[in-house]
A and B are shown apart, each in its own frame.
Chain A
């Protein structure tokens, strides 16, 4: 029972983290119709920036804030220099260009920080376990991730659905020419959205960093997960991304934790121990395939066009 609660929370935490990544992706995708494979690189850069700034300033919070700002700036620069010329082009061009960006960022990181990974140490106040139920302790850092992610999700909801800026963003998604004709600077708006997405990816990266190590290519596996999420949730839908992210986080974590035991009861133990890791890694891809076959537009298609 204890293990179930803990794994459930781990799944929730992972899902919320994935949501941060997927939200930026789905915003950029749904609003600019742009496929950004380099989103995972921004996630990686967020983690590297955080590790550097925290070591530099000696303060976790200040370092993290600086890293967030740096990722935001990086996103805006990348958009301004390269990607804004690709809006309205074929999706394939986006894939190729951002694939090039991944290559670039991976080697840039290797050049600057070296091939070995970095560690992002936690301050003392984030390492104490917290008692969440009688007799059940949970790492406070993971709890902090859950709280921060939920706050960011609420913030996103308010910005996109309740603010004037969000109204403009949504209007830009449904009719780009019209909102431009009404005198709104759509280019600036797109740059802002891209920067916001970059900052979200950076936030996800730096929050994940203390749990895993900061290393080259860390953004690539998780990027695929984020794509799976936005495809399951329906491209362009933040609500869909939120639900799908939690769903995927739970399935992935619980699958890894309990599938081996479950299989062992059905199969011989050697067969189970070989099949379980592969099967639990495949689980979410299987889920995505099923969703796409049954509902080719995702579970919560955004109402656009």
Chain B
């Protein structure tokens, strides 16, 4: 029992409880802004969690993860623009498109290692970015406004702030649960083994690239879901969602929270986006503080926030 009650687990539990009870707080205080802010945070947390699956557990440093945010978003946006408003069609298409993109990108990029892998995933994301900029029919550079959020036959109403927030939260927790199951399955063990020692895993007889590819596709699909949520949240999708600095943001969230820990990316996303929000309220030049802060975190805070909390316990 004492094992369960270290600083790190307590913080995670408090954060989860806080996220669950947030709509209660807004309905009492009438502070809607916090709810919209946290809807965005929860969506990015899902994207960061999916990146953590390949980066933290699989050792695949993808620098193009924001591409799936855009692909999921554009699937929703384009179908909505063509008059197909049903989420039962939009969302599966968004997931399938992301999975397909991840399959192609993964099959090609997983042939490379290390920095080359970082760069080739970046290149593919930039390609997706330029394709979206070239979609003149769907707004091109300016982006695409989504006039009606996905409909689910009265099952859930996405235009209701609270319902949409809980949907996003359910997706986040569902995603984290899925990652937890994957990581502790035989499949997940193999993927983590490949991260530690590929030669040995291959010698045992596991086909390395196939395991990696499946993991890569799962992460891409999960991020595509985040993209569909994000497009519904902002009622808008533009190529800027896929820009490489966005992929950088996602990486920062994962590393900030603690790579390779289940709840790390969620904590990272909350801290990063809250910090961005708070600093931008204090000063217009928030990045002037954020930048050096990131540098300090890298220099002194190894293992992210959760790693720091873990060390705290050991003294």
Confirm or deny: B114 has a beta carbon within 8 angstroms of a beta carbon on chain A. yes
CA distance A292 to B111 in the complex (A): 8
Q: Does A279 contact B (CB under 8 A)?
A: yes
Which stretch, B39-47, B218-226, B282-290, B307-315, touches the partner chain A? B282-290
CA distance A95 to B290 in the complex (A): 15
CB distance from A95 to the nearest CB of B (A): 7
Whether the Cβ atoms of A285 and B248 lie closer than 8 Å is no
- Asked if B288 and A111 sit within 8 Å, CB to CB, the answer is yes
Contact code string A96-116 (vs B, CB < 8 Å = 1, else 0): 110111111111101100000
CB distance from A105 to the nearest CB of B (A): 8
A101: chain B residues at CB < 8 Å are 291, 295
The answer to whether the Cβ of B203 comes within 8 Å of any Cβ in the partner chain is no
Query: B108 within 8 Å of A by Cβ?
Result: yes
* B271: interface (CB < 8 Å): no
Interface-side segment among A2-10, A42-50, A173-181, A220-228: A220-228
Task: Kindly identify, within residues 296 to 310 of chain B, every residue whose CB is under 8 Å from any CB belonging to chain A.
Answer: 297-299
Stretch at the interface among B17-25, B91-99, B123-131, B155-163: B123-131
Nearest opposing residue in chain A for B285, CB measure: A107
CA A85 to CA B137, docked complex, whole Å: 49
Report chain B residues within 8 Å CB of A184. Answer: none
A100 touching B295, Cβ below 8 Å: yes
Docked-complex contact B126 and A224, CB < 8 angstroms: yes
Size range of the chain A interface in the assembly? 35 or more
CB distance from A168 to the nearest CB of B (A): 24
Q: Is B234 an interface residue (CB 8 A)?
A: no
**At the interface, yes or no: B134 with Cβ under 8 Å from chain A?**
yes
Taking the closest CB of chain A, its distance from the CB of B74, in whole angstroms, is 14
Chain A residue contacts of B245, Cβ below 8 A: 102, 220
Check if A86 is an interface residue, CB within 8 A of chain B: yes
The answer to whether A82 and B119 touch across the interface, beta carbons within 8 angstroms, is no
Fill in one digit per residue for B138-176: 1 if any A CB lies within 8 Å of its CB, else 0.
000000000000000000000000000000000000000
Inter-chain CA distance A286–B286, complex, in Å, is 36
| B293 interface residue (CB < 8 Å to A) | yes
In the complex, are the beta carbons of A86 and B124 less than 8 A apart? Answer: no
In the bound complex, do residue B61 and residue A296 qualify as a contact, i.e. CB atoms below 8 Å apart?
no
A35 at the binding interface (Cβ < 8 Å): yes
Interface residue? B294 (CB, 8 A): yes
B76 CB–A CB distance under 8 Å:
no
B294 touches A231 (CB 8 A): no
B288 touches A97 (CB 8 A): no
Contact check, B120 vs A224: say whether CB atoms are below 8 A apart.
Answer: no
Residues of A near B111 (CB, < 8 A) are: 292-293, 296
Q: How far is the CA of A100 from the CA of B291 in the complex (A)?
A: 4
Count contacts on B: residues with CB < 8 A to the other chain: 46
User: Which A residues are in CB contact (< 8 Å) with B259?
Assistant: 92
Indicate if the CB atoms of A293 and B295 lie closer than 8 Å.
no
Within the complex, the shortest CB–CB distance from A157 to chain B, in Å, comes to 24
* Least Cβ–Cβ distance between B23 and chain A, in angstroms: 32
A82 touches B299 (CB 8 A): yes
Contact status B130-A106, CB under 8 Å: no
Complex CA distance for A293 and B123, rounded to whole angstroms = 13
A243 at the binding interface (Cβ < 8 Å): no
Whether B205 sits at the interface, judged by CB under 8 Å, is no
Question: For the complex, is B270 an interface residue (Cβ under 8 Å from A)?
Answer: no
A268 at the interface (CB under 8 A from B): no
Min C-beta distance of A26 to chain B, whole Å: 11
> In the complex where A82-B299, A107-B286 touch, is A281 in contact with B130 (Cβ < 8 A)?
yes
Q: Which residues of B contact A37 (CB under 8 A)?
A: 248
Interface check A58, CB cutoff 8 A: no
Cα A89 to Cα B126 with chains together (Å): 27
Please give, as numbers and ranges, the residues of chain B lying within 8 Å of A292 by CB-CB distance: 108-109, 111-112, 116, 119-120
Minimum C-beta distance from B140 to chain A (A) = 8
A90's closest neighbor in chain B, by CB?
A: B61
Query: Which of B123, B295, B297 is within 8 Å of A285, CB to CB?
Result: B123
A148 an interface residue at 8 Å Cβ cutoff? no
B106 to chain A, nearest CB (A): 12
Contact yes or no, B114 A100, CB < 8 A? no
Q: Are A235 and B291 in contact (CB under 8 A)?
A: no
The answer to the question of B113 belonging to the interface, with a C-beta cut-off of 8 Å to chain A, is: yes
The minimal Cβ–Cβ distance linking A132 to chain B, given in whole angstroms, is 33
Residue A289, interface by CB 8 Å: yes
Using known A-B contacts A111-B288, A296-B116, determine if residue A82 contacts B295 with beta carbons closer than 8 Å.
Answer: yes
Q: List 21 A-B contacts (CB under 8 A).
A: A92-B55, A93-B298, A95-B251, A103-B290, A104-B291, A104-B295, A107-B285, A227-B122, A274-B135, A278-B130, A278-B131, A278-B135, A281-B133, A285-B123, A288-B120, A289-B123, A289-B127, A292-B111, A292-B112, A293-B111, A296-B113
Interface contacts beyond A282-B126, A296-B112: sample of 11 additional A-B pairs, CB < 8 Å, sorted by A: A85-B299, A91-B114, A93-B298, A101-B291, A104-B291, A104-B292, A107-B291, A224-B244, A227-B122, A278-B133, A292-B109
Q: Which 6 A-B pairs have the closest CB atoms?
A: A278-B134, A104-B291, A100-B294, A103-B291, A103-B287, A107-B287
Chain A residues proximal to chain B, CB less than 8 Å? 29, 35, 37, 82, 85-86, 89, 91-93, 95-97, 99-108, 110-111, 220, 224, 227-228, 231, 235, 274-275, 277-279, 281-282, 285-286, 288-289, 292-293, 296-298
Which B residues are within 8 Å of any A CB, using their own CB?
Answer: 55, 61, 63, 108-109, 111-116, 118-120, 122-124, 126-127, 130-131, 133-137, 244-245, 248, 251-252, 255, 259, 285-288, 290-295, 297-299
